[in-house]
Amino acid sequence: MGSLTDQLASLVEDADVVLLFSPSTSFYTRFEEMGSAAVVVAAENAVDAEEFVELPLPFENVRDRIRFGIEGAMDADLVDEGDEVVCVVSIFGDATDAVVRVGVDSTIHTGIYDLFVNSRADPGVIRDVFEVAIELGQKGQKGKPVGALFVVGDAGKVMNKSRSLSYNPFEKSHVYVGDPIVNVMLKEFSRLDGAFIVSDSGKIVSAYRYLEPAAEGVDIPKGLGARHMAGGAITRDTNAIAIVLSESDGLVRAFKGGRLILEVDPEEY
């Protein structure tokens, strides 16, 4: 009696919902055969799950990944506050290697799902901008660390709350983030001062914008400088989100509604 299995069984006991993160087909099939209901959280619905939450980024930080899955499941009314959720994840490799039990309360909710899915801009556009910022953080510009500020969505209003620092290289072009050539241009222009403005659909509206948002009601951590403050504040003053790569600490941060929602270390991707 009192075997390890018995001891650990308490981890999954009385769970309200099971979230399977990127399960293999065989794992998912076995799970289905047991008749257990599960929500699949993955980049794509490769197992044809009935209940599915799409992950826009791999989220190397497992807490972020789990938060995203839970918030997504809550948004789809599959999980409620007060539920006990069991998350089956892979941390070190592709195979399932961890079970995490989470009691869902208000503190679980950071807005990480909301950032991608309930913003003005398309989720794919937000993901593409994230990817550019992460790559830029990994490689820098010609080996040197660079910073960058991308304001995504609600571009008309953002343009009204900002001014041009110089000639806009994207003035007459119709180019979109996610296109490999455009991503190279964005990286090249990251040496310039100011912000990139991206529309809801991913069109690069401008580079070189100096943001002049009202800063009241902005709640961002002390110690971040003017770029982060301006990026955070514009998301309070408009319905845009901001993705900021810091030149000084190398992290990529996302802001929405004047709040810091997500911090990602490009070196971990």
Ligand X SMILES: Nc1ncnc2c1ncn2[C@@H]1O[C@H](COP(=O)(O)OP(=O)(O)OP(=O)(O)O)[C@@H](O)[C@H]1O
Binding site for ligand X (CB under 6 A): 147, 149, 193-195, 210-211, 224-228, 230, 246-248
Instruction: Tell me how crowded residue 148 is: count the other CB atoms within 10 A of its CB.
Output: 26
Residue 181 interacting entry, from Mn ion, ligand X, none, C-beta within 5 to 8 Å by type: none
Pairing of strands 52-54, 39-42: parallel
Only segment of 48-56, 67-75, 151-159, 222-230 that touches Mn ion (CB under 5 A)? 222-230
Question: Which pair of structure tokens corresponds to residue 139?
Answer: 């490689």
What span, in angstroms and rounded, lies between the C-alpha atoms of 232 and 253?
10
Rounded to the nearest whole angstrom, what is the least distance from the CB of residue 133 to ligand X in the complex? 12
Residue 147 interacting entry, from ligand X, Mn ion, none, C-beta within 5 to 8 Å by type: ligand X
Say how many Å lie between the first and final Cα of the chain, rounded.
43
Amino acid at 180: P
Tell me 51's DSSP state.
Answer: S
Q: Which is nearer to Mn ion, 166 or 248 (CB)?
A: 248
Residue 188 interacting entry, from Mn ion, ligand X, none, C-beta within 5 to 8 Å by type: none
Residue 210 interacting entry, from ligand X, Mn ion, none, C-beta within 5 to 8 Å by type: ligand X
Q: Which is nearer to ligand X, 211 or 243 (CB)?
A: 211
Rounded to the nearest whole angstrom, what is the least distance from the CB of residue 214 to Mn ion in the complex? 22
Q: Which is nearer to Mn ion, 111 or 145 (CB)?
A: 145
Give how far Cα 236 sits from Cα of 59, 84, 154, Å: 25, 33, 12
User: 258 forms bridges with which residues in the sheet?
Assistant: none
Rounded to the nearest whole angstrom, what is the least distance from the CB of residue 216 to ligand X in the complex? 15
Q: Compute φ and ψ for 238, nearest 5 degrees.
A: -135, 180
- Residues 237-256 touching Mn ion, rule: CB under 5 A, are 248
Q: Which is nearer to ligand X, 228 or 236 (CB)?
A: 228
Q: Give yes or no for a contact between 122 and 176, defined as CB atoms under 8 angstroms apart.
A: no
Q: Which is nearer to ligand X, 67 or 228 (CB)?
A: 228
How many residues touch Mn ion under the rule CB under 5 A: the total is 2
Closest residue to ligand X using C-beta atoms: 225
Residue 226 interacting entry, from ligand X, Mn ion, none, C-beta within 5 to 8 Å by type: ligand X
9: burial class by Cβ within 10 Å (0-12, 13-18, 19+)?
Answer: exposed
Instruction: Tell me how crowded residue 14 is: count the other CB atoms within 10 A of its CB.
Output: 7
The one among 184, 225, 267, 268 contacting Mn ion by CB under 5 A: 225
What span, in angstroms and rounded, lies between the C-alpha atoms of 95 and 110?
27
Rounded to the nearest whole angstrom, what is the least distance from the CB of residue 261 to ligand X in the complex? 16
Question: Which pair of structure tokens corresponds to residue 159?
Answer: 């343009």
Residues that bind Mn ion (CB under 5 A): 225, 248
